[in-house]
Structure 1
């Protein structure tokens, strides 16, 4: 009888492996899958296309075959597997740009090697890796800033239809999307609720893109985009203030300041809406990433309730919206 074999360390080695994840991220950064699908399939041709060392690239390609990302197609030639196709630009989940080491999120992921520092000190790993905070890095690097805005816009666009249909937004007269980026979420909500008006508030760069998107959607008569920071005074008097995937990017002190600004603008008659991942299972991966990138937190409903209470708000409802949830908060009674 053949001896039964088990994974090394009972599977711990595979779970802790850093090499294969980095090999896949390098493949994403070099756009190897796109080149191969386009017909550049040999080591020599790929090395020329991506300006890489031929010998080392060949060794990387062979490991990607072992990892199931590529398949061998004869002598020093490669095809893309079903899994590897997710590394092509244009795939619905946008994994290539997420894994791209030179993009905003892939760049931030490299800081996870300093998780020990974060655990010991509570400080973000990003600052330990790069010497400045995540948001300072984006301010100093236009390409990474554009990458971040594009990735967040694409992610929100995926979730926006469920959010638009998950709450009766049409009951409101005016919704302000606070930190609304390029307007993807607000435009989807407006499209589903024709009597609603909307405003995007964000920094000047995203606001310019939101204004163009609003115009392209034909909603200039129902929506606008105004520059501003969610740490400053917000346009007052709207029925709703939306924070979509915002609070988890900040530590508790900053998140409370953001919510306080929304509460001030909403006063006693409006609502504050928080859209994020809230379910029965702790979002442990997301929580640690937010901590390492920003010093942030992926809140549970209970933690959000405590944060809201500190600024005079209370949760009045939580409704599912696809993978996300819409939490409505109002002034405490």
Structure 2
């Protein structure tokens, strides 16, 4: 049967009046691979609230992978397992980027990844104001590699021939870029790192109005891997100062208790969830454990444990969505500054207030 799906990225306009959405939908089958990128603007304030304008549409060469989409007006990127498409949707221009390895002259970087080696560039994060972007790999750091690369956004991209169609890769002009790798880091000062999963949070403006790039990484040290899984996970928040080309790392440890799923991404506004099922050997309890890195909450480094209310648990019906069983889909964001947890359920959005 054909496999369908979509990815979405969004950006609020500078004046807060519009939501700009880039969505990529695809249909994959043995016979064909169809993929399309669409950009639309939705009014989110004033009398025209909800009005939608379709701004741009283009076919993208289809792949068998679940690709990532990023947006910063007027740029949209679509990262596949084999290509990185960069588009200026207002100018209707774009290219297929060939990413060259900064350590191997003339060598093309591998964009493909697998869940065993967990390698490859998987997403793009645009700088909010400058003409640059970060290429993010799935794993790092290994062999003194940070897994993060800075490069300029391509300028003067050629116009796209929308009439002829852009579903074939041969219709895209290729452009080579050589990114610069960000400084390496470690979450274990004693032992070497094993593979760490990178979750980009995004760019953050500091009080002095400078920008830093924030990621959260998680995994085990090489020593832990050699000794087998012990239940200890290392978490770190890494802040990169691109002006000074330096980084600062805050490290947390978490001893797992029960079944643990790690989730969270740049859309979570700085929050990363560790869901723990079976708290204190009680299989019917469910909680979220949120790493706190001092993001304006008034707390220092540590962990916040959030008990999930009973009314959000499944009642056993087939149509009911359980927080415990579907946490990847419906747990959205925890705001540590206000103590609000936002949960998406079948009937709407539930806001839960946790008191400090």
Give the TM bin, normalised by the shorter chain: under 0.3
Given the two structures, how large is their TM-score scaled by the length of structure 1?
A: 0.28
TM-score normalised by length of structure 2: 0.26
Quick one: higher RCO (CA 8 Å, sep 6+), 1 or 2? 1
Choose between structure 1 and 2: higher strand proportion.
2
Between Structure 1 and Structure 2, which shows a larger proportion of helix residues? 1
